[in-house]
């Protein structure tokens, strides 16, 4: 166990008032609304904040927008796991005395596209060596490694189709989920949905939404005196291996996930069997399958058989291993596939872990959990961030 | 008709690659210090950080590492089309397109199949290296 384990806690966690369609808010406006809500959740004022960690808005943009002058700034922007990495950096900064109250903020107008950045320029590596070959956003790049995994490990289309089906079961239990009232989907439904980019069909792909979220992190000592029951940070990890998908050295392994996961487990002094609840960023159906393997929850190459094994409940309903009633509850808000996905989903995964550990998840609450692991990628298995949390 | 797909803008580090494709030659930077080629072209060798790089023509042969068939086309493309990661016989991996006779079919695109480079002169200035199944 690292000396930084259990030194800090999450004392505030909140999203924008609503998620999904927010034509009333720009990218920065969504950041600000989320920041305000997280500070209210923590019972703190803007003047209490002395560390700003934000993406995709830079900490300079956001401090100006919020009228805060922080003494610590972090604008790490490596994709959807930037927020897991911010939690790690906040723990280090607080331990170093560089700040006492860290405000970590996300906001994206992924659907309404108000003040969002453009594509990489034509002189960039991506602009020269990937965009000219007709890549068009995440569905054309996150999909690229999948057939290699199928080929090398015998993973099947049908196995992969179980992931969106299991995740939808959680969304049905979550009234905030964008797919809450859309009914269940079966693996067959996933394969019958329109082809987007073979092997991905529409239901393999995450939603496109507007939204924001924010966290407040402070020392465990200070957290004890605050109103909220703190969620303790046991361990964290981060890594980055590449940026463009074709530069991934082995398409069947996320090197950054392996390194980030090992670091977080070592820091926490825990292993996969100690984790009660999982949030594995599901940009696409295949994404969390690779993470289950590379974080050590299933042996290498066996995520397909793992997610595809189901049982039948007493009411005749299918019970997925990662769904409600399953042995490894995963993506319990409904995930990027059925809850919300604004582009950098990592923040929503962290907030759901906090909500579950606080016991405030309502109909989808997983009973008796003490630990949660949150993990995500930045771009296509390029960067990674891991956070292990506990409610005691 | 004018090509309206995304076009690369060469930089000093990549100019020799794009000059090469324009002349229908696939050029790779080889490191004179460690002897290894790399791709995409950089100012320094990613294996040993040497800047002693020598451009040499590659064989143009590759194998199919993984691919997708895109049904929602980017500008300049007609769906469905193949976006692929190929492993050059020299070692480096590159992203490209696979040209097929007729619409691409997953059954006809087997991983590890042999490929050869073809050159698509999309504008007067830019030629894109694409691949097709080797005969």
Which residues in chain B are closer than 8 Å to A128, comparing Cβ atoms? 8-11, 14, 18, 40
Is residue A281 among the annotated active site residues? yes
The CATH superfamily label for domain A8-115+207-390 reads: Thiolase/Chalcone synthase (3.40.47.10)
In this prediction the ipTM stands at: 0.98
Interchain contact B22–A (C-beta under 8 A): no
CA distance A212 to B2: 41
According to DSSP, residue B19 is labeled H
Classify residue A269 by burial, with Cβ atoms within 10 Å: 0-12, 13-18, 19+.
middle
Percent helix, strand and coil across chain B, each to the nearest 5: 10, 35, 55
Cα(A353)–Cα(A351) distance, integer angstroms: 5
pLDDT at res. A285: 98
Per the document, the length of chain A is 392
- Return the pLDDT at B1: 66
Question: Which residues of chain B are modeled with pLDDT < 50?
Answer: none
Which residue stretches of chain A have pLDDT < 70?
none
Residue that is written with structure tokens 């808010």 in the block? A25
How far does the CA of residue A122 sit from the closest CA of chain B (Å)? 5
Neighbours of A127 (CB within 10 A): 18
The residue annotated as part of the active site, out of A98, A281, A345, A348, is: A281
Q: What is the pLDDT of residue A118?
A: 86
* CA A81/CA A295 separation, integer angstroms: 15
Domain ranges across chain A:
8-115+207-390
**CB-based contact A372:A275 (threshold 8 Å):** yes
User: Which residues in A58-81 are b (16+ Cβ under 10 Å) and which e?
Assistant: ebebbbebbebebebbbbbebbbb
Beta carbons of A133 and B9 less than 8 Å apart: no
Cβ atoms of B114 and B44 closer than 8 Å: no
Q: Judging by DSSP bridges, how do beta strands A200-201 and B61-70 pair with one another?
A: unpaired
> Which residue in chain A is spatially nearest to B85 when comparing CA positions?
A246
What angle (nearest 5°) sits at the alpha carbon of residue B10, between those of residues B98 and B54? 85
Give A209's DSSP letter.
-
Joined tokens for residue B123: 């504008």
């Amino acid at each position: 166990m690292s000396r930084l384990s259990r030194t800090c806690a999450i004392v505030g966690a909140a999203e924008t008032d609503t998620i999904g369609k927010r034509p009333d808010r720009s990218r920065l406006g969504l950041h600000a609304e989320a920041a305000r809500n997280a500070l209210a959740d923590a019972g703190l004022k803007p003047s209490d904040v002395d560390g700003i960690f934000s993406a995709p808005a830079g900490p300079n943009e956001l401090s100006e927008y919020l009228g805060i002058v922080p003494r610590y700034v972090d604008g790490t922007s490596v994709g959807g796991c930037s927020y897991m990495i911010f939690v790690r950096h906040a723990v280090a900064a607080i331990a170093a005395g560089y700040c006492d109250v860290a405000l970590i903020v996300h906001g994206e107008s992924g659907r309404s596209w108000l003040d969002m950045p453009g594509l990489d320029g034509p002189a960039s590596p991506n602009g020269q060596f990937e965009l000219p070959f007709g890549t068009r956003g995440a569905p054309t790049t996150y999909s690229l490694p999948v057939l290699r995994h199928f080929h090398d490990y015998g993973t099947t289309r049908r196995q992969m189709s179980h992931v969106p089906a299991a995740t939808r079961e959680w969304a049905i239990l979550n009234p905030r989920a964008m797919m809450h009232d859309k009914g269940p989907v079966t693996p067959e439904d996933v394969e019958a949905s329109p082809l987007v980019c073979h092997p991905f069909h529409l239901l393999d792909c995450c939603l496109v939404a507007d939204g924001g979220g924010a966290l407040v992190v402070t020392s465990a000592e200070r957290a004890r005196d605050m109103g909220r029951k703190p969620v303790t940070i046991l361990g964290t990890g981060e890594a980055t291996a590449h940026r463009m998908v074709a530069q991934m050295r082995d398409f069947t392994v996320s090197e950054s996930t392996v390194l980030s996961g090992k670091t977080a487990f070592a820091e926490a002094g825990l292993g996969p069997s100690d984790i009660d609840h999982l949030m594995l960023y599901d940009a696409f159906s295949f994404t969390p399958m690779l993470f289950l393997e590379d974080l050590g929850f299933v042996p290498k190459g066996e995520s397909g058989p793992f997610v595809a094994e189901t049982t039948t409940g007493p009411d005749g309903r299918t019970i997925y291993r990662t769904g409600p009633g399953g042995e490894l509850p995963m993506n319990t808000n409904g995930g990027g596939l059925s809850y919300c996905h604004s582009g950098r989903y990592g923040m929503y995964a962290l907030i759901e872990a906090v909500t579950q550990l606080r016991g405030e998840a309502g109909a989808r609450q997983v009973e008796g959990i003490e630990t949660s692991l949150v993990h995500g990628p930045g771009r296509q298995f390029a960067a990674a961030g891991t956070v292990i949390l506990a409610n005691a | 008709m004018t090509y309206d797909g995304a076009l690369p803008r060469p930089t000093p580090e990549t100019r020799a690659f794009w000059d090469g494709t324009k002349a229908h030659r696939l050029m790779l930077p080889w490191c004179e210090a460690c002897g290894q080629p790399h791709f995409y072209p950089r100012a320094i060798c990613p294996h040993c950080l040497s800047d002693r790089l020598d451009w040499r023509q590659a064989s143009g042969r590759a194998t199919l590492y993984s691919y997708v068939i895109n049904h929602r086309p980017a500008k300049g493309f007609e769906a469905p089309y193949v976006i692929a990661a190929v492993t050059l016989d020299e070692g480096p991996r590159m992203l490209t397109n696979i040209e097929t006779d007729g619409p691409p079919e997953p059954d006809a695109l087997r991983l590890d199949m042999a490929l050869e480079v073809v050159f698509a002169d999309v504008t007067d200035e830019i030629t894109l290296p694409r691949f097709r199944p080797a005969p």
